[in-house]
C-alpha cells in the first residue's frame, strides 16, 4: 500500500511530543489532555493494521521502502509480519494506560515526563517495524535516552544508580551488536536489508561469532540470567509508567531480536546453541522464582518474576517447534499485559500509602474490595490459571519444550509451582492477614483507575478463552521462520506443521 501508515505510527508520537513542548507549563490539565489525546489517536491508528492484516502470508505487509543513504546502501525500510504486528498493537495500547496512570502520580516536570514517554513510544514502534539494520539500530539506541530519563528524573530514591546501571548494561550489549551488524554488512555484499541478510548463508564460525554478538544485546534486554541484574533496580526505582513500559514492551525486544535476527540469519548457529540457550532459560526460570520468595519489596518481587517468566519465553523460542515458538510469542504478549497490570495496581496503592514494603500492608481486601478483585485476577493470570491468558502461553511452551527436550519441560514445570507459591503468598500478605490500621481510611479505586484496570482484565480473559485471536496472526510467519531455521528438511516440515491445541 502507498499510505505510509507505519511511518505515521512511528513519528506521530514524536510530533505530538513537540506539540506538548508548546503548551505552557502553568497549564497541567492541558498537558495531560493533549498527551492522552495523542496516545489515544496513536492507538486508533493501529486499527487499520489489526483489521487489514493478511494472516495467510508470511510476507511483510504495510511495507515502506525508500533510499536513505545510498553510498552505504542504507534504506528507510519498514514492514511488519505476523510476529511483529502484535507488538506494535501492544505498544500503542500500553502507552494509553501509562498516560492515564501518571495522571496524578507525576507532579514534577509534568510536560517533560509526557514528552519522554511519547518519544519512547515512537522509538519502540520503530524497533518492531524496521527492516534495515541501521534503522533498527537507531531506534534501538533511541529508546535508551527517554527510558534513562524516566527512571533517572522521576524515579525513586536510588533512581540515578538504577538509571545509570540500565544505560550501561544495554549500551555495552548494543555496541557488541553493532560489531555484528558491520560484520554482516561486509560479509553479505554490503547490505543492511534484514530480509536479504536472512536469505543468505554464512560460514559456521562467522555464525557462531555473530550469534554471541547479538546475544550480548538481546540477552541483556530480555533479560536472561546472568545479565539480568539491571532489571530489579530499574523496576524498583522507575515511576509506575516506566515499570509498565519496561515490563510490557522493552524487555520483549530482546526476545524479538532472537526471532527477527538470530534465528533466521544464523540458523546453523541457532541449532548448535539450542541446548545452551535452553539451559540458560531454565536457570532463569528457577532462579527468578526462588529469588521472588525472599523479596520484601513488592515491585522488586514482580521484577524478579519477570526474569522467571521471560525464561519461559526463551525456552519456547529455542525449543524451535511450532508450539514452543508460538507459545513464546504469545507469552511475550501475555507477560506484557499481566505484569503491566500488576505494576499498574502496585502504582495505584503506592500513591495512597507511599510504601512498597510487603510487611507494611495487610487486610486491603476489606478496605479496597474493587482493587483486590482486579489484583486477584492479575495474580491468577500470573500463575497460569486455566481461563486466563497466562495458562495458554505456559501450556504451549511446556508442550513445545517437551517435544524438543523432555527433561527441559519437566525442569521448567517447577517454575510454574514456584510461581504459584510466591504470587499467592504475596496476595495473602497484602490483602489478607491483620488489617494495618494505618490504611483503614484508604479509598478504593476511582473512576479513572477502574478505566485503566478494566481493559487489562478483559484482555486477560479474552486471550485465555479465545487465544486464537492472537495465535492466528502468527501461524504462517512462525512456520516460515522454522523452515528457515531448521533447513526445510522433511523431518522439520513435520514439526512446523504440528498441531496447535488452541487452533490453527
Q: Which phi and psi (to 5°) does residue 62 adopt? A: 55, 40
Contact by Cβ (8 Å): 370, 447: no
pLDDT at residue 492, rounded to an integer: 39
Query: Residue 259 and residue 254: Cα distance in Å, rounded?
Result: 9
How is residue 312 written as a grid cell?
A: 519461559
Q: Per residue in 298-333, pLDDT tens?
A: 999 998 998 999 999 999 999 999 999 999 999 999
Burial class (CB in 10 A: 0-12, 13-18, 19+), 168: exposed
Angle at 344 (CA atoms; ends 440, 13), nearest 5 degrees: 145
Is residue 423 one of the residues assigned to a domain? yes
Helix (H) or strand (E) holding 66: strand 61-69
Is residue 64 one of the residues assigned to a domain? no
Percent of the chain scored above 90 by pLDDT?
A: 61
pLDDT at 334 over 70: yes
Is residue 45 one of the residues assigned to a domain? no
Is residue 292 one of the residues assigned to a domain? yes
Contact by Cβ (8 Å): 311, 282: yes
Is residue 327 one of the residues assigned to a domain? yes
CA 288 remoteness from chain centre: 17
Q: How many domains does the chain have?
A: 1
Q: Per residue in 421-437, pLDDT tens?
A: 999 999 999 988 887 77
Q: Per residue in 26-80, pLDDT tens?
A: 899 999 999 999 999 999 999 999 999 999 988 999 999 999 999 898 999 999 9
pLDDT at residue 235, rounded to an integer: 86
Is residue 23 one of the residues assigned to a domain? no
Helices (H), 222-321: 230-237, 240-245, 252-257, 263-265, 267-272, 274-292, 298-319
Domain ranges, residue 406: 273-497
Is residue 125 one of the residues assigned to a domain? no
Q: Across the strands, what pairs with 74?
A: 69
pLDDT at residue 493, rounded to an integer: 37
* Neighbouring C-beta atoms of residue 377, cutoff 10 Å: 18
pLDDT at residue 488, rounded to an integer: 46
- Share the mean pLDDT of the chain: 89
Is residue 319 one of the residues assigned to a domain? yes
pLDDT at 1 over 80: no
pLDDT at 130 over 80: yes
Contact by Cβ (8 Å): 211, 266: yes
pLDDT at 502 over 80: no
pLDDT at residue 85, rounded to an integer: 93
- Summarize the confidence of residues 243-258 as an average pLDDT: 90
Query: Residue 266 and residue 245: Cα distance in Å, rounded?
Result: 29
For the whole model, what pTM was predicted? 0.90
Query: Is residue 170 very low, low, confident or very high in pLDDT (cuts 50, 70, 90)?
Result: confident
Q: Across the strands, what pairs with 75?
A: 67
Query: Is residue 440 very low, low, confident or very high in pLDDT (cuts 50, 70, 90)?
Result: confident
Q: Which phi and psi (to 5°) does residue 500 adopt? A: -100, 120
Helix (H, G, I), strand (E, B) or coil at 67: strand
- Summarize the confidence of residues 277-284 as an average pLDDT: 93
Helices H, strands E: what count in the chain? Answer: 25, 2
Query: Is residue 501 very low, low, confident or very high in pLDDT (cuts 50, 70, 90)?
Result: low
Amino acid at each position: 500500500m502507498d499510505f505510509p501508515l507505519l511511518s505515521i505510527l512511528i513519528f506521530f508520537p514524536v510530533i505530538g511530543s513537540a506539540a506538548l513542548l508548546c503548551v505552557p507549563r502553568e497549564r497541567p490539565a492541558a498537558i495531560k489532555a493533549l498527551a492522552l489525546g495523542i496516545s489515544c489517536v496513536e492507538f486508533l491508528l493501529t486499527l487499520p493494521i489489526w483489521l487489514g492484516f493478511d494472516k495467510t502470508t508470511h510476507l511483510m505487509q504495510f511495507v515502506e521502502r525508500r533510499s536513505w543513504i545510498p553510498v552505504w546502501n542504507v534504506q528507510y525500510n519498514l514492514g511488519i509480519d505476523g510476529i511483529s504486528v502484535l507488538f506494535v498493537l501492544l505498544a500503542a495500547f500500553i502507552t494509553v494506560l501509562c498516560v492515564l496512570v501518571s495522571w496524578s502520580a507525576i507532579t514534577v516536570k509534568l510536560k517533560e515526563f509526557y514528552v519522554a514517554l511519547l518519544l519512547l513510544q515512537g522509538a519502540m514502534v520503530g524497533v518492531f517495524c524496521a527492516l534495515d539494520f541501521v534503522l533498527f539500530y537507531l531506534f534501538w539506541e533511541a529508546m535508551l535516552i527517554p527510558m534513562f530519563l524516566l527512571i533517572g528524573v522521576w524515579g525513586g530514591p536510588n533512581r540515578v544508580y538504577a538509571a545509570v546501571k540500565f544505560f550501561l548494561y544495554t549500551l555495552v550489549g548494543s555496541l557488541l551488536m553493532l560489531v555484528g551488524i558491520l560484520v554482516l554488512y561486509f560479509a553479505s555484499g554490503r547490505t543492511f536489508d534484514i530480509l536479504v541478510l536472512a536469505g543468505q548463508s554464512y560460514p559456521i564460525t562467522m555464525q557462531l561469532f555473530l550469534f554471541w554478538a547479538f546475544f550480548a544485546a538481546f540477552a541483556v534486554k530480555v533479560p536472561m540470567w546472568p545479565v539480568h541484574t539491571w532489571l530489579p533496580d530499574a523496576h524498583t526505582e522507575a515511576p509506575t509508567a516506566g515499570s509498565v513500559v519496561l515490563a510490557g514492551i522493552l524487555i520483549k525486544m530482546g526476545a524479538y531480536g532472537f526471532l527477527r535476527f538470530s534465528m533466521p540469519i544464523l540458523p546453523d548457529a541457532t541449532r548448535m546453541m539450542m541446548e545452551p540457550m535452553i539451559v540458560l532459560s531454565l536457570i532463569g526460570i528457577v532462579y527468578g522464582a526462588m529469588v521472588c520468595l525472599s523479596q520484601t519489596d513488592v515491585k522488586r518481587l514482580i521484577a524478579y518474576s519477570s526474569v522467571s517468566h521471560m525464561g519461559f519465553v526463551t525456552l519456547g523460542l529455542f525449543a524451535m517447534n511450532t508450539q514452543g515458538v508460538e507459545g513464546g510469542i504469545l507469552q511475550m504478549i501475555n507477560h506484557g499485559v499481566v505484569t503491566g497490570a500488576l505494576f499498574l495496581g502496585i502504582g495505584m496503592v503506592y500513591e495512597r500509602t507511599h510504601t512498597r514494603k510487603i510487611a507494611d500492608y495487610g487486610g486491603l481486601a476489606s478496605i479496597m474490595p474493587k482493587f483486590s478483585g482486579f489484583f486477584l485476577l492479575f495474580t491468577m493470570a500470573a500463575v497460569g490459571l486455566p481461563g486466563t491468558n497466562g495458562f495458554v502461553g505456559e501450556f504451549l511452551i511446556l508442550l513445545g519444550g517437551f517435544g524438543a527436550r523432555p527433561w527441559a519441560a519437566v525442569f521448567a514445570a517447577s517454575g510454574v509451582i514456584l510461581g504459584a507459591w510466591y504470587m499467592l503468598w504475596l496476595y495473602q500478605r497484602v490483602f489478607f492477614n491483620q488489617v494495618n490500621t494505618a490504611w483503614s481510611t484508604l479509598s478504593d479505586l476511582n473512576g479513572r483507575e477502574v478505566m485503566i484496570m478494566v481493559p487489562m482484565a478483559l484482555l486477560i480473559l479474552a486471550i485465555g478463552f479465545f487465544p486464537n485471536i492472537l495465535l492466528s496472526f502468527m501461524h504462517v510467519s512462525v512456520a516460515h521462520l522454522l523452515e528457515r531455521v531448521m533447513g526445510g528438511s522433511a523431518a522439520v516440515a513435520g514439526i512446523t506443521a504440528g498441531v496447535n491445541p488452541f487452533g490453527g
